[in-house]
């Protein structure tokens, strides 16, 4: 992993597995914010990694495990190498709102004062979820200039994606202790365990909340073999994107 730029309150980690084109595109996204961001690139996890290759043969499951281990490797890097108490983790196929840097001070303030473990900043969203009863607005003290809602979500809510999220170092240690050792292997022979996937583990564990509308959205140039996934991702981009907010 290598770092660029400098920041004083939190680190940002971006997962990029063997894709120079995405890394260049993501670098342009980050460069829009000047030198106000501190970026550490996560190199991802090869499908031949011994944590994966010696355990499973299914290619789809291998890719899911690779992504989850990629996130956990970044979290491990944060816990063991960073002096910061907070970090943001993201994937390399996203667009970030133009006011991201401006709003980060408010996001950190809400995150710390509300004792949130996982703060979801980027996720799949194709509807006005603030109008659904299963996404109740969380009672938090927000700065007057903060134009977002803070919503609660549960494990059962249909909210998916680990495009961008914020963790405290305290909760990062909890996630590593729970998922970074033999958890993935145990899911293969232990019935009813939560799948080893970032969508099911990292983003659904602990005291959860999300920022709505999202601060980051997935680009609409990702490829999916499965039609329903493709439809969902395209619908989410269409619902969330505007040139004024993201370009």
Domain residue ranges of the chain, discontinuous segments joined by +: 3-246
How large is the average pLDDT for residues 133-153?
Answer: 90
How deeply is 154 buried, as exposed, middle or buried, from its count of CB atoms within 10 A (0-12, 13-18, 19+)?
Answer: exposed
Identify the pLDDT of residue 38.
77
Q: Which residues contact 164 (CB under 8 A, 6 or more apart)?
A: 88, 89, 90, 91, 94, 96, 120, 121, 122, 123, 214, 215, 216
230 vs 101, residue with greater confidence: 101
How deeply is 113 buried, as exposed, middle or buried, from its count of CB atoms within 10 A (0-12, 13-18, 19+)?
Answer: exposed
Helix axes of 169-179 and 59-81: crossing angle, nearest 10 degrees = 140
Comparing CA positions, the residue from 95, 94, 93, 122 lying closest to residue 17 is 93
pLDDT level of residue 82 (50, 70, 90 thresholds): very high
pLDDT tens digits for range 184-242: 999 989 989 999 999 999 999 999 999 999 999 998 765 555 657 777 878 898 999 99
Q: Are 89 and 13 in contact (CB under 8 A)?
A: yes
CATH number of the domain at 3-246, please?
3.90.550
Output the CA angle 127-132-135, nearest 5 degrees: 100
pTM: 0.92
How large is the average pLDDT for residues 69-81?
Answer: 97
Comparing CA positions, the residue from 72, 53, 57, 95 lying closest to residue 221 is 95
């Amino acid at each position: 992993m290598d770092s660029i730029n400098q920041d004083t309150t939190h680190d940002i980690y971006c997962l990029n597995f063997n894709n120079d084109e995405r890394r260049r595109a993501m670098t342009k996204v980050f460069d829009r914010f000047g030198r106000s961001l501190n970026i550490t690139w996560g190199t991802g996890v090869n499908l031949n990694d011994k944590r994966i290759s010696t355990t499973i043969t299914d290619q789809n499951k291998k890719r899911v495990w690779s992504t989850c281990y990629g996130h956990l490797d970044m979290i491990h890097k944060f816990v063991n190498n960073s002096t910061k108490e907070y970090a943001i983790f993201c994937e390399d196929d996203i667009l970030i709102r133009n006011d991201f840097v401006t709003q980060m001070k408010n996001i950190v303030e809400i995150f710390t004062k509300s004792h949130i473990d996982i703060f979801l900043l980027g996720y799949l969203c194709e509807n006005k979820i603030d109008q659904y009863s299963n996404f109740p607005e969380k009672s938090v003290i927000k700065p007057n200039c903060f134009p977002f809602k803070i919503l609660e979500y549960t494990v059962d809510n249909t909210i998916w994606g680990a495009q961008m999220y914020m963790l405290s170092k305290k909760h990062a240690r909890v996630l590593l202790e729970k998922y970074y050792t033999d958890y993935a292997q145990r899911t293969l022979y232990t019935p009813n365990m939560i799948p080893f996937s970032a969508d099911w583990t990292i983003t659904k564990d602990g005291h959860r909340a999300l920022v709505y509308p999202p601060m980051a959205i997935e680009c609409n140039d990702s490829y999916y073999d499965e039609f329903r996934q493709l439809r969902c991702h395209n619908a989410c981009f269409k619902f969330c994107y505007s040139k004024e907010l993201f370009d």
